[in-house]
Amino acid sequence: MSDEVQMDQEVYDRLIGEGKSERIARAKAKAAAVRKSKIEEGATLGPKPAEEATKALEEFRSSRSGGGGVATKTAAPADGGGGGRLTPEERAARVSASLGNGGDSGSVGVPAASDHTHRLLALVPPAGIQQVQSKQQDKVYTWPHLLLVEFVALLAAGSLLLVASFFLDAPLGSLANVNEVPAINKAPWYFMGLQELLAYFHPAVAGITIVGAAVLLLMSLPYVDKNPSAKPENRKFANMAFTFFLAFWGILTIIGSFIRGAGYEWVWPWVQGLGFVL
């Protein structure tokens, strides 16, 4: 077992600085170290010269013809300038010469001094032998993963409301009297934001223009924010829009519920108490 090839640290640092992955940088750094060691030993890198290829071809021809000098169908020029296609014999000779078989044509593609029994067949593109599958998405069934959680949440919310109904008195009140107006007359809490807008703007503006603009904004959100991600950290625009809406409507509801007193006047809670009525 040969020792592990040491990598060229300078090449590795340069590739990491360029943003390459650690695996690619390590492989290229090892290849650079091997090339450097071969250059120091005096070895010639790159493909073999045309003269050596022609010599190996002639040796292969002579071994096939038994030394009788029988000519093949095509002959390669000595300068390697021929542009014709190689015959199967010529290709086998070049493969044999590159693997160190010399003129031995008995086992083309297998090194002469080797115990390996495999042969060199062809280079097949990875797409031809690999089945690329799409990334598995994290999916779960509606039952029991979703419905069970919703059922537990329903039980918890119902239990909370049941317990609160024992301690909080929220009567319906007497019948309405047109001759008597209550001192504190407010809408339900879920409409307090709209009632607070009516205190600042004309009813047409507060009830139609602002509300209509909000509805149009909600309808346009899928066309403005086209991010397909379902992760909250990737939906910056959606998070910002919902945060602004929640803060705006929540502040209006809190003001109308707790700070507005008799006659819907602004009253601080520490002066006349909370103006909240169940």
For each of the chain's 278 residues, which pLDDT tens digit applies? 445 677 888 888 888 888 888 888 888 888 888 888 888 887 766 666 667 777 877 887 787 665 444 444 444 444 444 455 777 777 777 777 766 555 454 544 444 455 555 555 555 555 555 555 566 566 778 888 889 999 999 999 999 999 998 888 777 777 878 888 777 778 888 888 888 998 899 989 988 999 899 889 888 888 888 888 878 888 888 888 889 989 999 999 998 888 887 778 888 877 776 666 65
Domains contained in the chain, number: 3
Are residues 74 and 30 part of one domain? no
- Is 145 within a domain? no
Q: What integer pLDDT is reported at residue 70 of this predicted model?
A: 42
Are residues 261 and 201 part of one domain? yes
Q: What integer pLDDT is reported at residue 233 of this predicted model?
A: 83
**Alpha-carbon span 6 to 31, nearest angstrom:** 9
- Is 237 within a domain? yes
- Is 277 within a domain? no
Radius of gyration of the chain (CA): 43
Q: CATH number for the domain including 225?
A: 1.10.287
Q: What integer pLDDT is reported at residue 120 of this predicted model?
A: 56
- What are the helix (H) ranges across 139-235? 147-167, 192-198, 203-204, 210-224
Question: In sequence order, which residues have a C-beta less than 8 Å from that of residue 260 and are 6 or more positions away?
Answer: 186, 196, 199, 266, 267, 275
Domain that holds residue 93: 50-112
What is Dmax (Cα atoms) for the chain?
A: 132
- Is 171 within a domain? no
Q: Tokens 């090194």 sit at which residue?
A: 111
Structure-block tokens of residue 177: 């009297």
Are residues 249 and 198 part of one domain? yes
pLDDT tens digits, one per residue of 151-192: 999 999 999 999 998 888 777 777 878 888 777 778 888 888
Following DSSP, what letter does each residue of 217-276 receive, concatenated? HHHHHHHH-------GGG-HHHHHHHHHHHHHHHHHHHIIIIIB-GGG-B--HHHH----
pLDDT tens digits, one per residue of 78-95: 444 445 577 777 777 777
Are residues 265 and 204 part of one domain? yes
Upstream peptide bond of 144 is cis (omega within 30 degrees of 0): yes
- Is 176 within a domain? no
**Single-letter code of the amino acid located at 152:** V
Are residues 6 and 64 part of one domain? no
Neighbours of 93 (CB within 10 A): 28
- Is 61 within a domain? yes
Query: The pTM is what?
Result: 0.40
**Alpha-carbon span 10 to 33, nearest angstrom:** 10
Are residues 267 and 207 part of one domain? yes
Three-class DSSP category at 180: coil
Cβ-contact 72, 61 below 8 angstroms? yes
Q: What integer pLDDT is reported at residue 134 of this predicted model?
A: 60
Are residues 97 and 85 part of one domain? yes
**Alpha-carbon span 118 to 116, nearest angstrom:** 6
Q: What integer pLDDT is reported at residue 100 of this predicted model?
A: 58
Are residues 192 and 250 part of one domain? yes
Of residues 257, 278, 233, the one with CA closest to residue 269:
257
Of residues 254, 258, 221, the one with CA closest to residue 240:
221
- Is 266 within a domain? yes
